[in-house]
């Protein structure tokens, strides 16, 4: 079982996933971490019985990373009453996708995130090297319509992490103004200046435990010894998304009350990553068979399934699949994928569609199509 501990300091709640092979820390009121990507990251625990806890603090220039303020509305209640028709995306003509240009060595992507401005994508490879793509066109906003440029400083120095542990869990997080990056790949943690790519030193405060829970492995599933677990706060700073290879689950802070669980069918393979959309109304889930699922954030009801044939060439190996996923910070229907072969893709619906999935009229009386490819508990 995977232990979840809720921690707190004066600024908000946080989480520590206590496992021999991995751990994740998230501070709800100050920063959002990127295990994706994008939105989700944390710190790592080395192999064996070591315990290592690092608080990721962003905000070196007096800025603090805060999730968007929630305005009182009835969106969640409306979402709970909706019934979605599962929409399949199987052809490139059904959506917009773009593979980001890359002149560096292709390496499996371990972490992925958009910058807070929405104008760039940052990736961390398993070789501990960071890649940064910037959009100059489209008013400097990320889009699948125009390719960005792979950016490097004039001195040619790459942001490269220390790698003392080969099987540690990589992680990173950006400050609110995109000026600083804190990152680790198993060795010493680094704080980079995003303009110059230089290493810095910082301090951090102590945390104290508030509550703890264990993720329950679904019946019939076996978790690998080094499986990662990541968490991300909902916009309301209360609901929490937990991502594990066997499932995604929703908990409620501060007592970590279990609410919902989504488990892909065994034929689909394991969950590789998941993240909330920027408005916290959807959850993007990448699966080992190469597909991406779009679920409602409140009920985990599937809205759509995006086949790998819809976003990358069919001549690629079946062993190539998305390992990390990141959500655009201001466009709720755009997300990015980092693949096992080092490729990074930006994906969004056709302009004529505008979103993922179709809501069924209530009078149809049709029920959710959970049984088509995934299950809820």
What global pTM score does this model have? Answer: 0.75
Q: Which string of DSSP letters, residue by residue, matches 183-227?
A: EESSSS-EEEETTT--EE-------EEEEEEEEPPPTT----TT-
- State the chain's mean pLDDT as an integer: 75
Q: Domain 2-57+83-376 in CATH: superfamily?
A: YVTN repeat-like/Quinoprotein amine dehydrogenase (2.130.10.10)
pLDDT value of position 171:
86
Q: Mean pLDDT across the stretch 54-75?
A: 36
Lowest mean pLDDT of 99-108, 218-227, 259-268, name the range: 218-227
pLDDT value of position 78:
52
User: What SS3 string covers 105-149?
Assistant: CCCCEEEEEECCCCCEEEEEECCCEEEEEECCCHHHCCCCCCCCE
Structural contact between residues 15 and 240, judged by C-beta atoms closer than 8 angstroms: yes
Residue 51: pLDDT over 80: no
Q: Cβ atoms within 10 A of the Cβ of 309, count?
A: 15
Span 66-87, pLDDT tens digits: 334 434 444 455 556 678 889 9
pLDDT value of position 210:
64
Residue 246: pLDDT over 60: yes
Residue 315: pLDDT over 60: yes
Helix (H) or strand (E) holding 79: helix 75-81
Q: Mean pLDDT across the stretch 37-65?
A: 29
Q: Is the pLDDT higher at 85 or at 281?
A: 281
Structural contact between residues 160 and 144, judged by C-beta atoms closer than 8 angstroms: no
- Beta strand 2-9 pairing with 12-18: antiparallel
Helix (H) or strand (E) holding 76: helix 75-81
Residue 40: pLDDT over 70: no
Residue 199: pLDDT over 50: yes
Q: Mean pLDDT across the stretch 93-111?
A: 92
pLDDT value of position 81:
65
At residue 108, what are phi and psi to the nearest 5 degrees? -45, 130
Q: For residue 10, give both structure tokens.
A: 């004066």
pLDDT value of position 372:
36
Provide, rounded to the nearest whole percent, the portion of the chain with pLDDT above 70. 69
Residue 133: pLDDT over 90: yes
pLDDT value of position 104:
83
Q: Mean pLDDT across the stretch 80-97?
A: 88
Span 141-170, pLDDT tens digits: 999 999 999 988 777 888 888 887 666 778
pLDDT value of position 254:
84
């Amino acid at each position: 079982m995977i232990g979840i501990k809720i921690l707190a300091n004066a600024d908000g709640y946080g989480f520590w996933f206590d496992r021999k092979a991995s751990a994740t820390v998230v501070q709800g009121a100050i920063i959002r971490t990127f295990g994706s990507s994008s939105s989700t990251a944390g710190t790592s625990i080395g192999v064996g019985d070591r315990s290592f806890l690092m608080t990721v603090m962003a905000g070196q220039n007096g800025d603090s990373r805060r999730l968007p303020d929630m305005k009182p509305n009835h969106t969640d209640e409306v979402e709970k009453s909706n019934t979605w028709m599962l929409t399949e995306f199987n052809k490139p003509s059904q959506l917009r996708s773009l593979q980001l240009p890359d002149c560096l060595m292709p390496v499996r992507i371990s972490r992925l995130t958009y910058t807070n401005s929405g104008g760039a994508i940052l990736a961390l490879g398993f070789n501990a090297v960071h890649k940064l793509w910037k959009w100059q066109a489209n008013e400097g906003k990320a889009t699948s319509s125009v390719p960005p440029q792979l950016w490097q400083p004039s001195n040619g120095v790459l942001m490269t992490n220390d790698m003392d542990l080969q099987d540690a869990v990589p992680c990173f997080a950006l400050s609110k103004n995109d000026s600083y990056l804190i990152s680790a790949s198993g060795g010493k943690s680094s704080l980079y200046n995003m303009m110059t790519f230089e290493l810095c030193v910082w301090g951090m405060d102590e945390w104290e435990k508030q509550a703890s829970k264990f993720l329950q492995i679904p019946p019939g599933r076996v978790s690998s010894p080094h499986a990662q677990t990541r968490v991300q706060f909902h916009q309301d700073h209360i609901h929490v998304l937990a991502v594990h290879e066997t499932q995604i689950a929703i908990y409620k802070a501060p007592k970590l009350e279990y609410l919902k669980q989504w488990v892909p069918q065994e034929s689909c393979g394991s969950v590789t990553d998941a993240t909330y959309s920027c408005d916290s109304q959807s959850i993007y889930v990448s699966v080992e068979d190469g597909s991406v699922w779009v679920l409602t954030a409140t009920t985990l009801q599937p809205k759509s399934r995006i086949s790998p044939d819809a976003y990358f060439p069919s001549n690629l190996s079946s062993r190539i699949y998305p390992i990390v996923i990141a959500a655009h910070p201001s466009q709720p229907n755009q997300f990015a994928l980092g693949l096992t072969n080092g490729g990074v893709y930006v994906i969004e619906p056709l302009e004529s569609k505008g979103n993922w999935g179709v809501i069924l009229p209530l009078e149809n009386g049709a029920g959710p199509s959970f049984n088509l490819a995934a299950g809820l508990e």
